[in-house]
Amino acid sequence: MPPRFPLTRRTLLTGSALLAGAVLLPRAARAAVGEGEAVRLSAGPARVNLAGAGFPDTAVWAYDGRIPGPELRFRQGDTARIAFANTLPEPTTIHWHGLRVPNAMDGVPGLSQPPVPAGGRFDYEFPLKDAGTFWYHPHVNSGVQVAHGLTGAFIVEEREPIRVDRDLLWLLGDWRLTKEAELAGGFGHPMDATHAGRIGNTVTINGAVRDRVPVRAGERVRLRLINAANARVFALDFQGHAPRVIALDGHPVTPHAPPDGRVVLGPGQRADLVIDMEGRPGEGFDVVDGFYPRMAYRLTRLTYGAEAPLRDSPLDAPVALAANPLPEPDLAGAVRQDVVLDGGMHGAMPKTAGQRGPFWALNGVASMAHHHLEPLITVKRGQTQVTAFVNETGWWHPMHLHGFPFRVLSRNGQPAEHREWRDTVLLGPRETAEIAFVAEEAGDWMLHCHVLEHQETGMMAVLRVTA
Ligand SMILES: [Cu+2]
């Protein structure tokens, strides 16, 4: 019998003791492919157990019937070929989030490709220029399709990886479930769209609520984190451990401790960490998500096995990754076009706002569909562009640019410490972030908030790169 208490995140996590003894953290199923072979991938309805023992299965939409979808793994320099089949009851596409792909492979319906109809197919093919932690998801009806589970990791391995004992992936999902563990309705509800988006009540790691993650004393783990939630922001505190951030949004960064000890991930963002398991056999340490004030909860617990430590002191090996071959912005010759974010509850909503929006705008323009978008910004191919995102709203916005990873130059007027490469920059209320990138590939590219309920109610635009 399923428990009768309402399924809230808090009760769920307390109740997750039910899971003790369950098999924990199986590797996401991998598509092991060689160069030249196409990976077959389908999207369709499925039923999976998300909420854990004692809860019924949840009707979802999934890639290959799994939540998350298969972990697609390639090596840098290879070509990815994905033969996609849509068995959903509606059109979809796949966007390869963060990967530098040709425009026609970018998966934006009506802009870079026609939507793949129900029962249709589409072959994606693109060279893998960059190594790192990326992910894939639909770009059609995104607020509904991503919330239904259509997410998966896309890992590009370095030709010369750093030395670690294990390479772990946590794809973080956030679900709004009923007490019967069914997906709650109300997608795109104005209450979500005008506020922080569809934040759920059940947080999963690789598609399950995980009470614990087994680790071994002395081992060095590379932990790849992906925020695949519609709207939830995470701020992870690895209690008792000293993680080092080695990559952000897939791209190497000077290894550093996370600011204030918390790894912050807005929707769409990734972080690669190196963690030395410095606890003793039999110990356990919580991983706490404390992003929302007064709503901190235990995401999981690093649980040390009884085995003898793998080594007595942390592995003495470098953790810095080799840089990806990204074109360096030419700041002296850059053109500048700023983007002002406006709207939302308590903000300046577009004058045309109806029941379903638009509620948000970029430079005063609200766009709710990908089709027939006039470019907000036009730039010549090869040109360096500097853009300040100016958030004049009272809400958080992870701004995502397709096609071109960018350097973060400054935040609120202060130089960014690591000038990190990113594809998604998280802006707090009233914050400003300045970025720079080289528009190296012609075409129409999306620029949007990755809170999907914001994107779909005005917060999207097109960057046109002319040949
Ligand atoms: Cu937003």
Query: What does the buried/exposed string (b/e) look like for 72-84 if buried means 16 or more CB atoms within 10 Å of the residue's CB?
Result: bbbebeeebbbeb
Q: Scanning the structure block, which residue is given the tokens 């505190």? A: 237
SS3 call for 244: strand
24 CA from centroid of ligand 1 (Å): 34
291 CA from centroid of ligand 1 (Å): 16
**How many Cβ atoms are within 10 Å of 257's Cβ, its own excluded?**
11
Which of 4-13, 120-129, 441-450 is least confident?
A: 4-13
**Whether residue 26 has pLDDT greater than 50:** no
220 CA from centroid of ligand 1 (Å): 36
Say if residues 360 and 454 touch (Cβ distance below 8 Å).
yes
Tell me what the mean pLDDT of segment 177-197 comes to. 95
Q: Where are the alpha helices (DSSP H) in 130-271?
A: 142-147, 190-193
Say if residues 319 and 274 touch (Cβ distance below 8 Å).
yes
The secondary structure of residue 137, as a DSSP letter, is: E
**Whether residue 56 has pLDDT greater than 70:** yes
**Whether residue 295 has pLDDT greater than 70:** yes
262 CA from centroid of ligand 1 (Å): 22
Tell me what the mean pLDDT of segment 201-219 comes to. 97
33 CA from centroid of ligand 1 (Å): 36
**How many Cβ atoms are within 10 Å of 216's Cβ, its own excluded?**
18
Tell me what the mean pLDDT of segment 232-251 comes to. 98
CATH architecture, domain 17-160 = Sandwich (2.60)
The mean predicted confidence, pLDDT, of the chain is 92
448 CA from centroid of ligand 1 (Å): 8
**Whether residue 39 has pLDDT greater than 90:** yes
CATH 2.60.40.420 applies to domain 169-304: yes
How much is the pLDDT for 354? 78
Tokens standing for 301? 């617990």
- Residues across the chain: 467
Instruction: Please list the residue range(s) of the chain that carry CATH number 2.60.40.420.
Output: 17-160, 169-304, 331-466
How much is the pLDDT for 36? 66
**Whether residue 30 has pLDDT greater than 60:** no
34 CA from centroid of ligand 1 (Å): 38
Tokens standing for 118? 């129900």
340 CA from centroid of ligand 1 (Å): 12
450 CA from centroid of ligand 1 (Å): 6
Residue 159 exposed, middle or buried by CB count within 10 Å (0-12, 13-18, 19+) = exposed
394-431 tens-digit pLDDT? 999 999 999 999 999 999 999 999 999 999 999 999 99
ω into residue 309 within 30 of 0, thus cis?
Answer: no
Q: Which fold has domain 331-466?
A: Immunoglobulin-like (2.60.40)
How much is the pLDDT for 424? 98
Alpha-carbon separation of residue 465 from 74, 94, 109, 446 (angstroms): 28, 21, 18, 11
Say if residues 422 and 408 touch (Cβ distance below 8 Å).
yes
